[in-house]
Amino acid sequence: AIPRVLIGPDVWGRGVEMPVVGLGTGTSAWGDDAQVAAVVEAWLRLGGRSIDTALEYRNLRGVGTGLASALSRGSLSRSDIFVTSKIPVRAMGYGTTREATEQLLKELGLPYVDLLLVHWPGASSKSDNEETPGCVLADGSWAACRLETWAALEEAFVEGRARAIGVSNFEPQHLEELLQHQVTHFPRVNQIE
């Protein structure tokens, strides 16, 4: 079995354990949804239990199809599989993050993800071609976006739409910003690319 690490309690106080090895789906080389589904199914058949995806990868339907197929065989339950997904830069802001969360859950065909992350703290070399969200201030500051986005993730956590919440590619000053604003739930993970 793949070892797991405790990343914190869920909203009901139960421990959330994340497998230390996972399948990253952030490559366009896989092709269409059928190929993505086949890779996910093969990963789970080989004993993998963690899958990392994101709206930006444009493969959520394929991941969801692979998960549904593996679960339909009856040898795995939803609680056996750890699914991570991410909110893209273009969806930062309170309302757009809430919408993106619903979209990714719908495309995955899941009632919840195990870990929901903010993909980037703002514009980056990976996302400079993205549409700038409305929460970016006139001076170019992304602080309001990060805080609004985090508030929406906290709600997803409290509602049980995400068992744990975190960030991705945040630098120390971005994490300090959350601390200074006394968020209710601090990020459990900072996934670094």
Cite the active site residues. 57
Give the count of alpha carbons within 13 A of 35, CB side only: 8
Question: Do 168 and 120 contact (CB within 8 A), yes or no?
Answer: yes
Four-residue CA torsion sign, 164, 170, 176, 177: negative
Query: Position 109: which residue type?
Result: G
Q: How many CB atoms lie within 10 A of CB 1?
A: 6
Closest residue by Cα to residue 17 from 27, 26, 9, 6: 6
